[in-house]
Structure 1
């Protein structure tokens, strides 16, 4: 098995595993947070996304 085949095989698996871990960490943080904190974060998301999009340009 050459290096390119190995990379093509392991990279999607690694990305999937990283996405799963990030999802679990976010869920654990949301479940442990106070309800008011979660609501404040969700209400602030549109402003955060808008700022990130402005910075990207």
Structure 2
């Protein structure tokens, strides 16, 4: 099997697995956090996203 073919097949699978693991970690962290902490983070999220978009070159 060619290296490029192997990379083209394994990279999307690895990225999907990484995304699923990150989602699971975030969900567990949200479920274990106190309700007030989750609410404050969710309220601050639009400001964080706006700041990241402004900083983008």
- The answer, yes or no, to whether TM exceeds 0.5 is yes
Report how far residue 25 of structure 1 moved. 0.2
TM-score (norm 2): 0.97
Count how many residue pairs are aligned between Structure 1 and Structure 2: 57
Partner of 1:55: 55
Give the TM-score normalised by the residue count of structure 1. Answer: 0.97
Where structure 1 has 5 or more consecutive residues not aligned to the other structure, the ranges are none
* Structure 2 unaligned blocks of 5 or more: none
Deviations 1:6-47 (A, max 9, x none): 000000100010000000000000000000000000000010
